[in-house]
Amino acid sequence: MRRPELLRPAPARPDRRTFLRSSLAAGVWTLSLSPVAAASSPTVPATRPLGFARGLRFDSRGGLTVLSQVVEMGQGTQTAICQIAAEELDLALDRVQVAQAPVTPEYASAQMQPPNYASFGSLGLPLSMAEVGGICAAARALLLQAGAVRWGVPVAACSTRDGHVCHEDGRPPLAYAELLAAAAQLPPPAKAKRKPRAQWRLLGQSAARVDLPAKVDGSARFGIDARRPGMLVATLMHAPRFGAELLAMDERPARAIRGVRRVVRLPGAVAVVADSYWQARRGLLALSPQWSAGPHAETDTEALRLQLRAACQQGQGLSFSKDDDPAIDPAAVATELTRAARVLDLSYDVPYLAHATLEPMNALAEVGPDHAELWLSTQSAQDTQYGVARALGLRPEQVTVHPMLIGGGFGRRLEHGFAVEAALLARTMGRPVQLIWSRETDMRAGGYRPAAAARVRMALGADGWPQALRVDCASPSVLDHSQLSNGEPRPALDWTVSMGWLGHDYALGPKHVSWTRVDPGVPCGYWRSVGASQNTFFMECSLDRAAAWAGIDPLAFRLRLLAAKPQSQALLKALAEAAGWGRPLPPGQFRGLAMSAGNSARSAHIVEISVPAPGRFRIERIVAAVDAGVLINPGAVQAQMMGGTLFGLAAALSGEITLKQGEVQQSGFESYSVLGLAQTPPLQVLALGLGEQPQGVGEEGPASIGPALANALFAASGQPIERLPLSRSGWQLAD
Amino acid sequence: MKSHSLNINGRLQRVAAEADKPLLWVLREDLGLSGTKFGCGAAQCGACTVHLDGAAVRCCVLPLHAAAGKRVTSIEGLSATEIGRALQRAWLEHQVPQCGYCQGGMLMAAASLLAEHPQPSDGQIDAAITNLCRCGTYPRVRAGIHAAAASLAAKVAA
């Protein structure tokens, strides 16, 4: 969810712009990274303080707490952080715990551009490897040194094991707890040696998730479970059309309901505040507000689809440059397209998609004259802090944000409009207010994966091999809408639309990738795997068309295009072997394959299907493979890939948000259908580590499952899939 | 407001709330039991699944008056039964949850299934577990149910 070069490869030590700070108070040794020359960088706006800190706190018994800005939304990063700290410090895993760091500039990651306190883009793991791992290595060096001083021996004679400093002569080891005070007096090293991979004992082994015990007995506290004394509860409806305004409303029907305290008009919304959710909900349902038509009263997604396709045909978009990908060469592409033996000219489109997190957006806010405090599930605590501060006329440091467990993020909780709404309601009421969106409010509020279209032209030589690639795509821009601070706002060219087109591993000759901004004003956002969610579909279906024309097996075709990329080849080969790609399938069964490379890791799917009736298919089996670079917690990687696969499968089968006359047509799980257990096919996941640097894998999975399935349907029917969801291409799951 | 008598997780409690207030919000707001989750308010997602006299129900649409006089078990009371404990152990063993928001409801649905079918077939699991999970835990939910069923059967045999 970023320009790929921002974090590849992850540095293996703390950032240079930081120094270690060591302090001892009340028997607790705290070691943290602090910024040097804060806010001096010309590339960072002055309002976004630079720097990060990763605090370690050793208690007097040698137990360790790591303060982390990564929030837990089921991806398991907090468990990985425990593993990383325990590994670098030679501690038992159960001596380490993670606590949510305060939302302050010191805990924003300087490796994000701009520095941010946020969890997205599969960054949590590589950032923690660099930052938590680096500071833990420094702490270990200090403990070693303290032990050596205590004994009066050279540091080289000492080692660490299981929370102790040991001497090579076998004398009784010193527990870390005995050395904390001495270590805290030593000057922290500028950089410390990391434990080499060959000596890992915890990293690479599946570790039980630290957050799970509380998730099987009801004690886990999500944002919606936050409580404050005297709090009120609110729910709201937004204008039925984006940008419309309230014209008139009779508040009395709501106020007549017991428990309703107030009807509050917010920008583009009407809220009812009551003593309980049920009362607020009843109050809201009693209202019949009149809304203006608004600026987007004509928005119709079927018309938009045609408009997006037309923009691709015109091909007048802005083009990515050689700086974005060395293979970009529009002149060479033009030449190849004129002299190719054949030009594949393919057009695709995909719809808006909702995240449909199971926990609806909600936030609890308490607002005083010069301070605000919020408790909420958010992936984007710092942007929430800034956004609420702006809305209330406060400074960011006057807003305290408490990130809580997240009941489904997928990118949706990078937006913070609901937190601003809660803060405005709390200010109006002069009491804490928890705002809970209803399911229909959540479904209709935007933040969607943008609808998109692409025209893909591939110049093929007489031997069938691709000589050049031209892509003209069109869509709204995520960056125009999202509240996540993630680079330059509203750039002419939105880099997220290039994910999967640029920097992929296929040797397709020179490339020309252009994008046309077509925006009907529907709020968009980051949706798990972002631009790769559509571009992988466009690319991988095109590859199967090219392979079919060349008469070459889709796997063999890809392997040859990846001849210079052994890591991607190895991924596909491992997947193909696990799925038995070369073996004949039973009669009536067909396979499809696709690979995704739009985010930091790589993933691929093979899908086997049967077609019991025209337009009806059954998924016999899915085999998925993900290359995490280096595996940290293989079980968690498997779970992420499994989850990403099913998230993408649900979207490919039937996911779409549609608008008619400016209004979103979907309102709940009856109209935005998501995958159920009974529809989940047998699914095998290979978790692989084929590289040198660990990568997060949360973004993997959704992108390649759709095209793998589409390619299987193409293999079965000879009819290419050029539109998602599959239900719009005439295909449905058989009962 | 009329006061209602409820049997929640084996304890008798009195609640003063509207008779049509859904049990979900009574549990969460009046009784401080926040393990039962709000997902859709329309009995579609199952995050609010509790047991009413042992049967799984979606309590976001169950009015308080319909629960009065019946035994209500929420996720906080699941560990009181052998089946509940077996499921919780299996859930940890198979590392079932991801975000975990739906899992309370999943476990309650699974417990009700095992009470009725101690050795459920995959088809019976399909039919009984209609709870929605956006993290994609379904394969581990299925494995967890089978594992809990197996451990309970082993206990009976032993």
A87 in Cβ contact with A166 (< 8 Å): no
pLDDT for the residue numbered A641: 97
- pLDDT tens, A311-331? 999 999 999 999 999 999 999
Q: Tell whether A47 and A65 lie within a shared domain.
A: yes
Mean pLDDT score across all residues of chain B: 97
Residues 261-320 of A with CB under 8 A from B: 276-279, 281
One-letter amino acid at A265 equals R
Cβ-defined contact of B95 to A276 (cutoff 8 Å): no
**Chain B contact probe: residue of A677, A683, A685, A735 with most B CBs at under 10 A:** A677
Amino acid at A361: M
Tokens matching residue A501? 């087109």
Domain spanning B3-76: CATH 3.10.20.30: yes
Q: Where in chain B is the domain with CATH 1.10.150.120?
A: 81-157
Nearest alpha-carbon partner for A645 in A616, A685, A673 = A685
- Asked if residue A27 has pLDDT above 50, the reply is yes
Question: Chain A interface, mutation test: which of B59, B78, B101, most A Cβ atoms within 10 Å?
Answer: B101
Sheet containing strand A342-350, edge to edge, reads A318-319, A511-517, A466-475, A452-460, A342-350
For A356, name the nearest residue in chain B, comparing CA atoms only. Answer: B134
Rounded Cα distance, A567 and A688, in Å = 11
- Which residue in the set B42, B97, B142 is minimally distant from A215, CB to CB? B97
Closest by Cβ to B44, choosing from A217, A277, A668: A668
Contact between A607 and A181 under an 8 Å Cβ cutoff? The reply is no
pLDDT number for residue A17: 41
The verdict on pTM exceeding 0.90 is yes
- Alpha carbon distances (Å) from A8 to A3, A4, A119, A139: 10, 7, 17, 26
Residue of B95, B102, B129 to mutate, interface with A, max A Cβ within 10 Å:
B95
Domain B81-157 fold: DNA polymerase; domain 1 (1.10.150)
Regarding whether A345 and A478 lie in a shared domain, the answer is yes
Answer yes or no: do B34 and A225 touch at CB < 8 A.
yes
Mutation to test the A interface, candidates B59, B107, B113, B134, most A Cβ within 10 Å: B134
Residue A218 within a domain: no
Other CB atoms within 10 Å distance of the CB of residue A397: 12
Distance CA A407, CA B105 (A): 13
User: Are A313 and A408 members of one domain?
Assistant: no
d(CA A721, CA A437): 36
Task: Give a yes or no: residue A381 inside a domain.
Answer: yes
Tell me the residues of chain A between 385 and 414 that have a Cβ less than 8 Å away from chain B: 405-410
Burial of residue A437 (CB within 10 Å: 0-12, 13-18, 19+) is buried
CB A455 within 8 A of CB A434: no
* A574 interfacial to chain B (CB closer than 8 Å): no
3-state secondary structure of A116: strand
| CATH number for position A467 | 3.30.365.10
Question: Mean pLDDT of all residues in chain A?
Answer: 92
Question: pLDDT band at A23, cuts 50/70/90?
Answer: confident
A179 and A97 share a domain? yes
The verdict on A318 and A257 lying in the same domain is no
pLDDT at A500 over 50: yes
A473 assigned to some structural domain: yes
Q: Are residues A247 and A348 in the same domain?
A: no
Q: What is the crossing angle of helices B103-116 and B82-93, to 10°?
A: 130
- For chain B, residues classed under CATH 3.10.20.30 are 3-76
> Which pLDDT tens digit goes with each residue over A141-167?
999 999 999 999 999 999 999 999 999
Kindly determine whether residue B21 and residue A668, on different chains, have CB atoms separated by under 8 Å.
no
Same domain, A619 and A556: yes
Quote helix, strand, coil % in chain B, to nearest 5.
45, 15, 40
Strand partners, A159: A166
Provide the greatest CA pair distance for chain B: 52
Q: A529 and A387: one domain?
A: no
Least confident of A108-112, A224-228, A460-464, B17-21: A108-112
Amino acid at A203: L
Q: Measure B7 CA to nearest chain A CA, in Å.
A: 18
Residue A40 reports pLDDT greater than 80: no
**What residues in A contact B140, CB-CB < 8 Å?**
639, 642
**What ipTM did this prediction achieve?**
0.98
Total Cβ atoms within 10 A of residue A370: 9
pLDDT tens-digit map of A706-723: 999 999 999 999 999 999
Name the domain boundary from A436, A463, A480: A436
Final residue belonging to a domain, choices A148, A183, A211: A211
Overall average pLDDT of the B12-29 stretch? 96
Total number of domains in chain A:
3
Question: What DSSP letter does each residue of A176-189 carry, written as one string?
Answer: HHHHHHHHHHSPPP
What does residue B149 show for φ and ψ, rounded to 5 degrees? -60, -45
> Long-range CB contacts (< 8 A, 24+ apart) of A193-202?
A193/A137, A193/A141, A194/A12, A194/A13, A194/A88, A194/A133, A194/A134, A194/A137, A195/A87, A195/A88, A195/A137, A197/A630, A200/A87, A201/A87, A202/A83, A202/A86, A202/A87, A202/A93
Which residues on A lie below 8 Å from B39 (Cβ)? 358-360, 439
Residues A559 and A653 in one domain: yes
Band of residue A15 on the pLDDT scale cut at 50, 70, 90:
very low
Instruction: Tell me the per-residue pLDDT of A454-494, one tens digit each, with 9 for 90 and over.
Output: 999 999 999 999 999 999 999 999 999 999 987 667 789 99
Write down which residue in A211, A231, A260 finishes a domain.
Answer: A211
Is residue A442 situated within a structural domain?
no
Structural domain for A93, as ranges: 4-211
Cα dihedral B27, B30, B32, B36, rounded to 10, equals 20
Question: In which residue are the tokens 């930091």 written?
Answer: A600
pLDDT at position A263: 98
User: In 3-state terms, what secondary structure has residue A591?
Assistant: strand
Task: Check whether residue A593 and residue A707 sit in a common domain.
Answer: yes
The reply to whether residue B45 touches residue A358, judged by beta carbons under 8 angstroms, is: yes
In this structure, the answer to whether residues A500 and A461 fall within a common structural domain is yes
Cβ contact A457:A467 at 8 Å: no
CB contact under 8 A, B33 and A218: yes
Q: Per the CB < 8 Å rule, is A646 touching B138? A: yes
Interface test with B, best of A224, A278, A440, A442 (most B CBs within 10 A): A278
Q: Does A645 touch chain B (CB under 8 A)?
A: yes
Kindly state whether residue A443 falls inside one of the protein's structural domains.
no
The first and second tokens of residue A99, run together, are 């606590």
Give percent of chain A with pLDDT exceeding 70.
93
Q: Do B97 and A74 touch (CB under 8 A)?
A: yes
E strand or H helix that includes residue A595: strand A589-596
A217 belongs to a structural domain: no
Token pair 């001495």 in the structure block, residue: A182
The verdict on A341 and A273 lying in the same domain is no
Give the separation between CA A427 and CA A420, rounded to whole angstroms.
Answer: 11
| Chain A residues lying within 8 Å of B22, measured CB to CB | 278
Q: In chain B, what residues touch A643 (CB-CB under 8 Å)? A: 98, 135-137
Which tokens belong to A288? 């019949």
Cβ within 8 Å of B, A 715-734: none
Element (H, E) at A261: strand A260-266
Q: In A, residues 17-36, which contact B (CB 8 Å cutoff)?
A: none
Residue spans of alpha helices (H) in A525-633: 532-550, 554-561, 566-579
Omega before A9 cis (within 30°)? yes
**Using one digit for the tens of pLDDT, what is the confidence trace for A378-391?**
999 999 999 999 99
